[in-house]
Amino acid sequence: MRIALIVLVASAAAHADNSVTDPGAPWPTTIDTARAASMGGAHAAIATSNDALTVNPAGLSQSRRYHFEIDGMYDSRFPAEGVMASIVDTASSPLGSGILFSRWGSGQPGGRGEGWGLGFSYSGAVGQALFAGGQSKFLRYRGPDGLMAKWAQDVGILSRRGSFSWAAVVQNISTERLPLFPLTGTVGMAWGADTDWHLAFDYKADFSDTSNVKHKAAGGLEVLVGDALALRGGATWDASAHLWWASAGVGILTEKGGLQLVWRRRVSGGYDQFFMAAITLYLE
């Protein structure tokens, strides 16, 4: 009985240590929309439509689309919950545009972060097989350091030639320090086509502390089975925190929309997992 009580207290103490500032905390800076999340976040060079809003805004105008998507995420351990609603229009004009609203909460009361963000994205072709885009966003979040209500900017480029594509993205550019949304840079490359398969790799650097830059790498695979099923998987390695994650997902596609389901689990550095679901409506 005494041993069981000690184990229970230790477990509760470990649970209480969970904070939005933990390297593995589910948060808008670490969790993307469903398609990207299922590929481990390796998505900068293949981002299209709604998934481009969290990964690389330059990818918006790659395809002619008019989509609405809502994504939901749940992690019972931190606990963490997130909802993202987005609409993308790249069909009515050469310049693609999109709006993303997100609402998040993560961490225990002593280190919890929660709030909302609103982003306006735009993208267009700037050369042969070269796209550029940006996202202007307002972030209103309350974290361990108090309330933060700031504007920030993302910029990105993406180039695709045949089956090969590459991308570069800088996120959370601001004239002020954003503790919950650090300045990051991402480079990515990918092979494949939207109608068949993709193999993608991303490298991301966190510049919140320039004397100790944090590094993260991701790899992902996507295979389209017929016209109605997409199978996805990926892995993420946080080299600074020595954490591994594995991801998997499935997308069910119809003429009117799609359903996506995602699972991600930490495979080193302590147990944690989350689930995501997304519904996409094709409005064109």
What's the Cα-to-Cα distance from 98 to each of 36, 67, 124, 205, rounded to whole Å? Answer: 17, 9, 12, 26
Tell me whether residue 232 is in a domain: yes
Tell me whether residue 201 is in a domain: yes
pLDDT at site 93: 85
CB-facing half-sphere around the CA of 198: CA atoms within 13 A: 31
- Domain with 242, as residue range(s), is 28-282
Average pLDDT value for residue range 263-268: 94
Distance CA 125, CA 135 (A): 16
pTM, rounded to two decimals: 0.91
Q: Please, are residues 31 and 25 in contact by the beta-carbon 8 Å criterion?
A: no
Rounded to 5 degrees, what are φ and ψ at 51? -65, -20
Position 81, amino acid: E
Tell me whether residue 245 is in a domain: yes
Q: What is the mean pLDDT of the chain?
A: 91
Closest among 150, 140, 128, 165 to 52, alpha carbons compared = 165
Residue 149 neighbours by CB distance under 10 Å: 10
Residue 148 neighbours by CB distance under 10 Å: 18
Position 232, amino acid: R
The answer on pLDDT for 15 being more than 80 is no
Give the total number of structural domains in the chain.
1
Tens digits of residue pLDDT in 131-156: 999 999 999 999 998 999 999 999 99
Residue 193 neighbours by CB distance under 10 Å: 13
Beta strands 146-161; 257-266: pairing state: unpaired
Tell me whether residue 269 is in a domain: yes
Tens digits of residue pLDDT in 201-236: 999 999 988 899 999 999 999 999 988 999 999 999
- What is the CATH classification number for the domain harbouring 205? 2.40.160.60
Tell me whether residue 11 is in a domain: no
- Tell me the residue length of the chain: 284
Residues in a beta bridge with 249: 232, 262
Please give the share of the chain, as a percent, with pLDDT higher than 70. Answer: 94
Tell me whether residue 226 is in a domain: yes
The answer on pLDDT for 184 being more than 90 is yes
Tell me whether residue 240 is in a domain: yes
Tell me whether residue 12 is in a domain: no
- Alpha helices for 163-226 (secondary structure H): none
Beta strands 257-266; 80-89: pairing state: unpaired
Average pLDDT value for residue range 238-246: 94
pLDDT at site 17: 60
Beta strands 66-75; 80-89: pairing state: antiparallel
Distance CA 235, CA 41 (A): 8
